[in-house]
Amino acid sequence: MRTQVAIIGAGPSGLLLGQLLHKAGVDNIILERQTGDYVLGRIRAGILEQVTVDLMREAGVSERMDKEGIVHHSIELVFGGARHPIDVHGLTGGKVVTAYGQTELTHDLMDARKAAGLATVYEADNVRLHGFDGTNPQVTYEKDGRTHALDCDFIAGCDGFHGVSRATVKDRVTEYEKVYPFGWLGLLSDTPPVSPHAIVYGNSEHGFSLCSMRSMTRSRYYVQVPLTDKVEDWSDDRFWAELKRRVDPELSEKIVTGASIEKSIAPLRSFVAEPLRFGRLFLAGDAGHIVPPTGAKGLNLAATDVKYLSGAFIDYFKERSNAGIDTYSERCLKRIWKAERFSWWMTTLMHRFPGDEFGRKMQEAELDYLVKSKALSTAVAENYVGLPL
Ligand code: APR
Ligand code: PHB
C-alpha cells in the first residue's frame, strides 16, 4: 500500500488533518489503534476558539457545529462566594468562543471521512514507524493477524500523549513537564446547564469547580479532587453536593441535578516536546503537548498544529515548497508555549494547592486585581478566545 501522508491516530488531530488534506487533493490513510466507537466514547472538552471553528468550516464539516454550537460571549469567575463576569466579547473587540463537544466534532469528522470513502484502519495493532530520516518512510502494523506495510512521503504522528510516534523518537526529544497535585472529576448529565451563556470557573475553600455545557439540555461539570480519589468514591449525590458548595449561593440554588451519563477523573499535566519534526515525521496535537484543561486550550492547540501541518504538506505537494515543513516545529511551538503559559496560569490561579497558604493569598490578591483591572481582564479575555496565529 502507498499513500502521500500516513496519519497515526483518529482523534480530532488526525481526522481534521485527513479531511483538510483530502479537500486539497492530498492522499492520506489513518491508522488507529482503537475502534471508532471507543474513540467516540471518550468524553473530553468542548470549547472551540474561532480558529478551530474556521478550520472545521474550511474542512467542509461545520454544518452541525454551525447549527448546534452555542456561542459564549463571556466567562464568569466565582470566588469569595460571589460571581464576577469577564466580558470576553467586549474586551476583545467582538471575539467569542463556541461550545461544541469534542465528541460531536469527532463524530462529524468521522462521518465526513466515511462519506468521502477515505481509508481509516481501526484496530491497527503494533504500529511501527520506519525510514522517516530518509525520503521513503514506511509504517507497518498488524491487523487481523497479518502484518501490513504502508509506504508514504510523510508520517503525521497524531496519536496522542501515549502514542507510538513520540515514543519512537524519544532519544531525540527534550520534554518539559509539570504535573499538578490534583485531578478533575467530571460529570456529564442530561440536565439543563446552570449557566447557558457563560462558562463558570470557581475557586473556593473546598477547591476548584467548573460549570460547562454541551447543549441546552446537556451539562458538563467538574470539581477538583485529590489524585488518590477513585470515581467509585463519588456517587452522583456526593458530586452534586460538592459542586454546590463550591459556587456562589445563587448559582448553587439553580443547579439542576440528575443522573450522570458519564463520570471520570483526569489528572492535570503541562507538557511540551521539542522539536515537533524529525525528518519526515511530524508530531501534532496531544502527541506533542498537553495542557491542563483550565484554559480550554487542548483541542484548540491541536487544531492550530493541524492548520500549520496541512498547509505545509499541501505546499509541498502542490507548490514543491519545503518552507512550511521546515518551519512547522518553530511556528507551532511559539503558539504552544503561549497557550501553556495561559493554561498553567489559570490552573495556578483557580485551584487549591494543598499546604500552600502563601499561594492562596496570592490567588486572593490576583483575583481581586483581575476583576477590577481592565488591563488584566483584557489579557485573560484575549488568551481565552485564542491568541492570533
Ligand atoms: N497506534 C495507532 N493509534 C494510536 C496509537 C498507536 N500506537 N496510540 C494512540 N493512538 C490513537 C488513540 O487511540 C487516539 O484515538 O491516537 C488517537 C489520539 O487522539 P487524542 O488523544 O484525542 O489526541 P489528538 O487527536 O491530538 O486530540 C487532541 O484531544 O485529548 C484531547 O485535550 C486534547 O482536546 C485535545 C485533543
Ligand atoms: C468542558 O466543557 O468540558 C470544558 C470547558 C472549559 C474548560 C474545560 C472543559 O476549561
**Which pLDDT tens digit goes with each residue over 323-373?**
999 999 999 999 999 999 999 999 999 999 999 999 999 999 999 999 999
Query: For 133-152, how does the pLDDT look when each residue is reduced to its tens digit (9 = 90+)?
Result: 999 999 999 999 999 999 99
Query: For 173-201, how does the pLDDT look when each residue is reduced to its tens digit (9 = 90+)?
Result: 999 999 999 999 999 999 999 999 999 99
270-275 average pLDDT score: 98
Q: Does residue 43 surpass a pLDDT of 90? A: no
Ligand 2 center–CA 269 separation, angstroms = 15
Q: Does residue 6 surpass a pLDDT of 90? A: yes
Q: Is the distance from the beta carbon of residue 298 to the nearest atom of ligand 2 less than 6 Å? A: no
Q: Is the distance from the beta carbon of residue 194 to the nearest atom of ligand 2 less than 6 Å? A: no
- Residue to mutate, 7, 13, 16, 100, ligand 1, most ligand atoms under 8 Å from C-beta: 13
Ligand 2 center–CA 2 separation, angstroms = 39
Q: Does residue 44 surpass a pLDDT of 90? A: no
Q: Is the distance from the beta carbon of residue 59 to the nearest atom of ligand 1 less than 6 Å? A: no
Average pLDDT, the chain: 97
Q: Closest Cα to atom 1, ligand 1: which residue?
A: 33
Ligand 1 center–CA 230 separation, angstroms = 23
What's the pLDDT score for residue 137?
Answer: 98
Supply 240's cell numbers: 452534586
What's the pLDDT score for residue 178?
Answer: 98
Q: Is the distance from the beta carbon of residue 200 to the nearest atom of ligand 2 less than 6 Å? A: no
Q: Closest Cα to atom 6, ligand 2: which residue?
A: 296
- Domains of the chain, first to last: 5-47+102-177+269-346 (3.50.50.60)
Q: Closest Cα to atom 9, ligand 2: which residue?
A: 45
Unique residue bearing C-alpha cell 462519506: 115
